Chains A and B, each alone.
Chain A
Amino acid sequence: EDQVTQSPEALRLQEGESSSLNCSYTVSGLRGLFWYRQDPGKGPEFLFTLYSAGEEKEKERLKATLTKKESFLHITAPKPEDSATYLCAVNAGSARQLTFGSGTQLTVLP
């Protein structure tokens, strides 16, 4: 059974204080790992897809990396508008279904 665990559950940062969110996974045959951002009362918004260990993707202050067992979402010099819940999901095997972690709620204080 595919499993995705995100840590920490919640993270409070001061504006400009860089940090990382962790997503560890146990799957058979990873086809893709996805990061989403979710604002309160809204649907998840796609950020990145990573396909193989060693791959990295960047977007503004966010950088996602992938190893064989985990992914990190690095946030450099965050701003209050980066406050959101960040979700990690994996697609494994021959199907298209996503298995989600329970998310990390990030709060960036001004």
Chain B
Amino acid sequence: NAGVTQTPKFQVLKTGQSMTLQCAQDMNHEYMSWYRQDPGMGLRLIHYSVGAGITDQGEVPNGYNVSRSTTEDFPLRLLSAAPSQTSVYFCASSTLGRGLGSYEQYFGPGTRLTVT
């Protein structure tokens, strides 16, 4: 299994440009999520999905869109990039299991995005 994969690894954008960060997992996980990591602030949740066709907002959703058309893929779209979106972006996935159990999330290698 490849686990969670992300592309690209690095990206430089100009203010106002749009782009899509790709995320795919081959573990048949229902739950997928996007985080951004900034120095001194830890990982913050942007959007998440509990299955194909179902998405919801996390802590910092503004400026980002997501969709989930398949179990495997969960792309993150930046509609009009801003310097404040310079960050490292991580995609993660997890099984939902049954009942109220809490399950570990597996992370991809990240995309380092710079907006100038």
Q: Which residues of A contact B (CB under 8 A)?
A: 4, 31-32, 34, 36, 41-46, 49, 51, 87, 89, 91, 94, 96-98, 100-103
Q: Of all chain A residues, which has the CB nearest B50?
A: A96
Q: Return 21 A-B CB contacts under 8 Å, by A number.
A: A4-B42, A32-B103, A34-B104, A34-B105, A43-B90, A43-B107, A44-B43, A44-B90, A44-B107, A45-B107, A46-B104, A46-B105, A89-B43, A91-B102, A96-B31, A96-B48, A96-B94, A96-B96, A97-B33, A100-B35, A100-B42
Please, what's the 1-or-0 string for B27-62, where 1 marks a CB less than 8 Å from any CB in chain A?
000010101000011111100101000000010000
Residue of B nearest to A47 (CB): B104
Interface size on B, residues (CB 8 A): 28
Flag if A43 contacts B110 (CB, 8 Å): yes
Sample of 15 further A-B pairs with CB below 8 A, known A44-B43, A97-B45: A31-B102, A36-B107, A42-B109, A42-B110, A43-B107, A49-B102, A87-B42, A97-B33, A97-B48, A98-B45, A98-B105, A100-B42, A100-B44, A101-B42, A102-B42
**Residue numbers in A under 8 Å from B2 (CB-CB):** none
A10 to chain B, nearest CB (A): 12
Q: Which residues of B contact A (CB under 8 A)?
A: 4, 31, 33, 35, 40-45, 48, 50, 58, 90, 92, 94, 96, 100-110
Question: Contacts of A103 on B, CB cut-off 8 Å?
Answer: 42
A100 CA to B43 CA, complexed, in Å: 6
Q: Considering only CB atoms, which chain B residue lies closest to A92 in the complex?
A: B102
Greatest chain B CB density within 10 A among A31, A32, A36, A44 is at: A44
Question: Bound state CA distance, A36 and B45, in angstroms?
Answer: 16
Chain B nearest CB: distance from A89 CB in Å?
Answer: 8
With both chains docked as a complex, state the minimum distance between the C-beta of A99 and any C-beta of chain B, in angstroms: 8
Is the pair B102, A51 in contact by a Cβ cutoff of 8 Å?
yes
